[in-house]
Structure 1
């Protein structure tokens, strides 16, 4: 019986190939689909070589989680960069906060497998700013949210005494809706209504802050 051809990689290329295979698996099936053996098969490398880069499935999942966060950051940046130029700093700050929430919710519905994977590894916030989770701006999703809130503070939209921990309030509200839309009782909602509900939630978050 013929054997499957194996691809020869340089050291860095092998890790990248395995990570890309892991991201594809996550995109298709979420975190449970990220299996080192399957990623090895898809990348076309021998299993022993794979273990030099990822000791086990958990190590691969951690790397895929970071890559999924980076894709989320890019989705947020696209909304951020699409904001119209304004002279009013308060309006700019509000637009940027809305861009963060909008990009977050749209990514969740467009890429539910990656979105689930992005938050599947239970680690504290010490990893929320690592470069592997950053988008093209060099900022992670959590940092982009923080930047938008800092802009609101600087523009006088957000009172100084309400700035502390504001990330957690905004994040938990938008993330809760995202999960209801992809895994909860709102998953049957069509795109038009999901967009309307999402924008109203962002309105509520802004007023609440």
Structure 2
């Protein structure tokens, strides 16, 4: 009988799948390397053929997450269509959708304590994903004279933080937290208030 998780012969991917399952069930620090190996259907020694250890395995899960995340963000941005503001809002909603659909990857990326600088591949994937939001910010501010526009890196970081806060408080079922509004509406209205405050979009009439 083939070992569970390893029947297809791709040990590396079986281990990533195992660690994602364990992260969802127990959190990023709630399992051992031996448990990940057992979940994948192999011995702990087999893990070291592909990974240096537990954190290296979590880093690979995070790298894959950033790849998926970047593709979703890029698809949502779609070159700034139909408008820079609409694209910015769609990127924010893509963040919420990713957190819901890929909880194991999300935790590996943002809550595991593994640095995005752990290896070049992880850093490149993270930079690409975060770059989508910065690209959207540049497009949104280009109608303002250069000497008066706020730094795109600054307000893209603020929108990133706002998106992350909405996800953490209201989109992941955190105990004791409940909003009378859908997370998407909270984020969209927050983005609008913030961008109007910076003068990047016209005020409501």
Q: Structure 2: give runs of 5+ residues left out of the alignment.
A: 199-205
| Residue aligned with 2:42, SS | coil
CA distance in 2, matches of 1:193, 1:200: 11
- Give the TM-score normalised by structure 2: 0.72
The correspondence for 2:11, drawn from 11, 14, 24, is 14
How large is the RMSD of aligned CA atoms in angstroms? 3.6
Equivalent residue of 1:32, what SS?
A: coil
1:176 matched residue in structure 2: 165
Q: For structure 1, list consecutive stretches of 5 or more residues without a partner in the other structure.
A: none
Partner of 1:195: 184
Partner of 2:37: 40
Structure 1 residues 73, 164: closer, same or farther in 2, change over 3 A?
Answer: closer
For residues 178-203 of structure 1, what are the alpha-carbon distances to aligned partners after superposition, in whole Å with 9 as ceiling and x for unaligned?
111123643x447x622221221221
Partner of 1:76: 73
Equivalent residues of 1:67, 1:133 under 8 A apart: no
Deviation, 1:61, is 1.5
Alignment counterpart, residue 57 of structure 1, candidates 32, 51, 54 = 54
- 2:137 is matched with 149
Q: Distance in 1 between matches of 2:161 and 2:18?
A: 30
Q: Distance in 2 between matches of 1:56 and 1:121?
A: 14
- Alignment CA distance shift 1:5-1:96 (3 Å): closer
Distance 1:129 1:177, change over 3 A: farther
Shift of 1:20: 2.7
Q: CA deviation at 1:33?
A: 5.0
Contact 1:129 1:142 in 2 (8 A): no
Q: Partner of 1:140: helix, strand, or coil?
A: helix
TM-score when scaled to structure 1? 0.71
In the other structure, the counterpart of 1:94 is 85
CA contact (8 A) 2:28 2:111 kept: yes
